[in-house]
Structure 1
Amino acid sequence: MVRGKTEMKRIENATSRQVRFSKRRNGLMKKAFELSILCDVEVALIVFSPRGRIYEFASSSILETIERYRSHTRINNALTTIESLENTQRLKEEAENMTKKIDLLETSKRKFFGDGLGSCSIDELQRIEQQLERSITNIRVKKTEVFGEQIELLKEKEKTLVDENTRLSEKYDSYSSQQAKMDESENVVEVEAYADQSSPISYVETELFIGLPETRTRRNSPKLRTN
């Protein structure tokens, strides 16, 4: 049969809890015995039941094992205490050194700003001056690099703007030529329409007569008008 997974929580039923305790206690004692035999180790096991009864197992002597444990614990505690004291002392020394370094840096900073120079010797003043000159040189070099980078960026922006202006100019010229052609076409149409409207209809009287040649007379024949 497949054994189900046991949920790790307190068993509420007292009878079931006692039965489970007896089974697990015997299994624990068996595992401790097997561990001491198979691995040749010193094992001590102490179990107190809910009613206060004691169950114990020891591969040799449980009292000797307990005393050995206490000695080991005292040694470890002593070593831990010594290590803690050493660490504390080392941290104090490091804190003092850091405080001294901070004071020196603050003093040097004030001297670089021109304060507290009354106690400086000639050599120290020369060192400060040389350091300031080196700092100024480095600042100027960095400033030149920054200016160069900004100039390159501006050149790139200028090139982009020139290309954009050229593109817009070509687009505008194309649009202007198309608009001029459209305006010229509209003007031609308007001129033709104006010419058609302003030209009057003229009537011309001709000597055309309708009828037989024998009977037609100039006086009685109708006249045609042509335009």
Structure 2
Amino acid sequence: MGRGKIEIKRIENSSNRQVTYSKRRNGIMKKAKEISVLCDAQVSVIIFASSGKMHEFCTPSTTLVDMLDQYHKLSGKRLWDAKHEHLDNEIHRIKKENDSMQIELRHLKGEDISTLNHKELMVLEEALENGMSVLKSKQMEFVRMIRKHNEMIVEENQNLQFKLRQLHLDGMDENVLETGQGVYDHHHHHHDHNAAVAAAGVADYEAQMPFAFRVQPMQPNLQERF
């Protein structure tokens, strides 16, 4: 059995509508490609989805703008308003200026200058000399900036070295004071120790002496008592 005839009207269900759109869009694009190849026809198709997304196909041997221009000539209908025509003229003007600048750039590089006359060569020479003057000025400015930066670095380095020397000298002064106090304390302690040792030696010597040789306290004359 063949498929039943589908009524052509808006599909209310959004999911079914999206599926049908994708299938029919792909079918239209396929048919456009086939007729372009099989029949050597110039075909252009533009489809906008309800979401605003665009899908297009154009015969590879041409462009959409060319086909629109051809349509305009054959149909006599104006597809461009005054604003679009102004934009189109502006695009052409910018393209011409770009081409002119590309030619001038090649001349400044020393390319394609064989066709220039004497006056054009003089203008080119003057432009190159002005460019060299500006370049040298920028180079000198850059060199001055580098020198100034280096001088600042050297000055900062000298300040740091000075601070380091001051810290080193302050540290040496503290060490000298601490060392002098240590020497004094050591000498004083050594002197006290020697005195203590001497006193102990004398006491020990006296303890070992015979009784007769020991120093006795002074006694009154015994003869005077009798």
What's the TM-score, normalizing by structure 1?
0.50
Aligned counterparts, 1:13-162, within 5 A: 85-162=81-158
Is the radius of gyration larger for structure 1 or structure 2? 1
Q: Which amino acid in 2 is paired with 1:209?
A: Q
Aligned-residue offset at 1:141: 0.6
Q: Is 1:181 aligned to residue 177 of structure 2? A: yes
Matched, 1:172 2:168: yes
Cα separation, 1, equivalents of 2:82 and 2:111:
40
Decide which of 208, 222, 225 is 1:215's aligned counterpart: 222
Letter matched to residue 114 of structure 2: G
CA distance in 1, matches of 2:194, 2:129: 93
- Distance in 1, matches of 2:101 and 2:109, equals 12
Distance in 1, Cα, partners of 2:155 & 2:166: 17
Letter in 2 for 1:140: K
Post-superposition Cα deviations, 1:158-203, rounded to whole Å, max 9, x if no partner, equal 3333333323322221221011110121122223334444565253
Distance 1:163 1:115 in 2: 55
Size of the aligned set, in residue pairs, is 136
RMSD over equivalenced CA pairs, Å:
3.0
Aligned-partner residue type, residue 213 of structure 1: P
Please name the residue that 2:189 is paired with: 193
What letter corresponds to residue 175 of structure 2 in structure 1? Q
Partner of 1:74: none
The CA deviation string for residues 125-146 of structure 1, in whole angstroms up to 9 with x for no partner, is 2221221111011011111112
CA offset at residue 208 of structure 1? 4.1
Higher relative helix content: 2
What fraction of aligned residue pairs are identical, expressed as a percent? 13
Q: Which amino acid aligns with 2:113?
A: L
Amino acid across the alignment from 2:178: M
Cα separation, 1, equivalents of 2:194 and 2:220: 41
Between 1:114-123 and 1:189-198, the stretch displaced more is 189-198
1:90: how far off? Answer: 1.6
Q: Partner letter of residue 109 of structure 1?
A: L
What TM-score, normalized by structure 2, do the two folds share? 0.51
CA–CA distance in structure 2, aligned partners of residues 211 and 132 of structure 1: 126
Cα offset, 1:100, TM superposition:
0.9
Higher relative contact order (CA closer than 8 Å, sequence separation 6+): 1
Work out the CA distance in 2 between the residues paired with 1:92 and 1:188. 102
* Ranges in structure 2 where 5+ consecutive residues have no aligned partner: 1-76, 207-212
After the TM superposition, list the runs of 4 or more consecutive aligned residues in structure 1 that deviate by more than 6 angstroms.
204-207
Aligned residue identity for 2:95: T
